[in-house]
Amino acid sequence: MNGAQHILQAFHRHNISTVFGYPGGCIMPLYDALVDDVGVEHVLCRHEQGCALAADGYARASGKLGVCIATSGPGATNLITGVANAHRDSIPMLVITGQVPSGLIGTDAFQETDVLGMTLGIVKHSYLIDDANTLPAIMAEAMALARSGRPGPVWIDIPKDLLLAEVADAPFPAPEPEENSHPELTQALAMLRAARKPLLYSGGGVSLANAEDQFRVFAESSTLPAVVTLKGIGNPGKHNPWNLGMLGMHGSRAANRAVDECDLLLVIGARLDDRATGRLDGFAPNARMIHIDADAAEINKLRPADLAIRGDLNDILTALTDALVHRPLAISEWQTQCRNWHTMGGFQAADNEEPLAPITGPAFIRQLSRIAPDDTVIACDVGQHQMWVAQHYQFDHPRHHLTSGGLGTMGFGLPAAIGAQFADRQSTVINVTGDGSFMMNAQELATIRRYNLPLKLIVMDNQCLGMVRQQQELFYNNRESQISLDDNPDFVAMARAFDIPALYIERTDQIRRGIETILAFNGPMLLHVAISREENVWPIVKPGASNRDMIDETRRTSPASKEHIA
């Protein structure tokens, strides 16, 4: 068995059935081995960035390990954005790249790049194989490492000659699970009971720990008012009466108010990102903080915790739930206050009753949320549409909302939707994108067609880079700079060129029929939605400002006050 064949065998041993890749010179031995292997489905994307982002979307939607493969040089460098995206959002991923043969490393050989060196900052760990006999141990370690603790991408760079070298096949036992006890839980419970205004603050760490169900039980049984980060959307469930929704820069006034006024913040699986907290010295100024996370380095990183608990969220949430079930928290006054704030200061978007009126982003997303099936997976891109989805789509599970939170990668949505569709061929998957983001990975329309994936594409087209335009309007004295996309191609004709049918809508009375048509169609379909160029995402907190200073539509910055932001 050679190195390439061993890699495929390791996939089988670890139940990896789907990988995303693109062949080329130095990875050809692996592609040769794939010819004889029917147990691994290889998805050929049209760009290596598409491969990495599809693997990311596959991992987010399924909870499994995402795998992407590319050749040396440009194959590897094209993966980098997708791998960085997975790194910033802690997505479990295995990356395999071919490298020039061992003897040519360091000679500026054709398609040679120092992949190990250039990717150090975007991986959880990485390896350059220098001995074929280390491959079995490294494959086993890499796959375990990518999924353990705080997950992340692990990159294996393997020279072509070692893919062809004989490898002694020796399976390696899985590492023993870490056993944890948490004596801090007693103190956490005492702090919860002593608090008059405790608030649950959860993020992407909940689903990364596969603790969605246990979190839901805890959130419901504790009856704690709850806010979520962008990546925590869906954690409490859409029917939880105490769910105040997303906090932060584009969060709801209710969620930010609750953080501002709470006296205890119970942070679970979140890293207090600047887009969520706003200016740190104004964040939860009256609150003590309990921080529960899998990653010790997140504890005390940005704000000191009064109590920190590191470990598996399932164990910790189970213990907390058991303790609270027997003696519920007495916080009815605070709950009522939060519900009132939510009623008055939740995300508002009136449906436009005027049938011929132009479509607005929030109204469209609210309709989509009402019409799409409950278990629909929405893969967003980055920009205004991403925030409208976060604000107005009612998610019932965090794995239904795929969004590039940390890196903010335009072009994420389409390949991520492809990955999600491969994770479950029967599920409804919708890529909600903007006209800017759509063009960043539009080549993957060919992948949709090749595999006849039934996913749906919704392009919200405002003929510009809307989020940049919005910030130029609000914080750069309305000096528009390089944001016009009014020469976009005809997206309907473009989809049809890939043999994907498409519809165009521009009026409010076309929204329902447009959505129902694409959802009912048995195959991929694109809906091109024209929206106003001037529409903004509200509310907004100026970058660097406190969440207390949210700007509403009625409080726009005066054009005369010229302000610049970092």
Contact residues toward another protein (CB under 8 A) are: 116-117, 120-121, 124-128, 130, 145, 295-297, 299-301
Q: How far is the CB of 291 from another protein (least distance, A)?
A: 13
Q: How far is the CB of 332 from another protein (least distance, A)?
A: 39
Which residue, 148 or 210, is less far from another protein as judged by CB? 148
Cis, bond preceding 539 (omega within 30 deg of 0): yes
Which residue, 83 or 255, is less far from another protein as judged by CB? 83
Marked catalytic residue, from 1, 41, 110, 563: 110
Q: Which residues pair with 115 in a beta bridge?
A: none
- Alpha carbon 345 to chain centroid distance? 26
HSE, CB side, 13 Å, CA atoms: give it for residue 114: 5
State how far the Cα of 201 lies from the Cα of 198, in Å rounded to an integer.
10
Q: How far is the CB of 149 from another protein (least distance, A)?
A: 9
Q: How far is the CB of 296 from another protein (least distance, A)?
A: 6
217, 240 Cβ separation under 8 angstroms: no
State how far the Cα of 127 lies from the Cα of 129, in Å rounded to an integer.
6
Strands 525-530, 540-541: pairing kind: unpaired
Is 160 a catalytic site residue? yes
Q: How far is the CB of 384 from another protein (least distance, A)?
A: 30
Marked catalytic residue, from 28, 111, 261, 472: 111
State how far the Cα of 250 lies from the Cα of 268, in Å rounded to an integer.
20
76: region left, alpha or beta (phi > 0 left; psi from -120 to 50 alpha) = alpha
State how far the Cα of 78 lies from the Cα of 48, in Å rounded to an integer.
5
Which residue, 58 or 127, is less far from another protein as judged by CB? 127
Measured at the CA of 218, the angle between CA 215 and CA 222, to 5 degrees, comes to 145
Marked catalytic residue, from 9, 49, 143, 160: 160
Residues 6+ apart with CB under 8 A from 257: 341, 345
Which residue, 289 or 423, is less far from another protein as judged by CB? 289
State both tokens at 146: 């990518």
Which residue, 304 or 544, is less far from another protein as judged by CB? 304
Which residue, 132 or 382, is less far from another protein as judged by CB? 132
- Alpha carbon 11 to chain centroid distance? 24
> How many CB atoms within 10 Å of residue 114?
14
Marked catalytic residue, from 5, 48, 473, 491: 48
Marked catalytic residue, from 410, 467, 525, 550: 467
Is 111 a catalytic site residue? yes
Measured at the CA of 197, the angle between CA 193 and CA 199, to 5 degrees, comes to 90
Q: How far is the CB of 118 from another protein (least distance, A)?
A: 10
E strand residue ranges, 448-549? 456-461, 502-505, 525-530, 540-541
Which residue, 138 or 228, is less far from another protein as judged by CB? 138
409, 383 Cβ separation under 8 angstroms: no
Is 110 a catalytic site residue? yes
Q: How far is the CB of 150 from another protein (least distance, A)?
A: 8
Give the active site residues. Answer: 48, 110-111, 160, 467
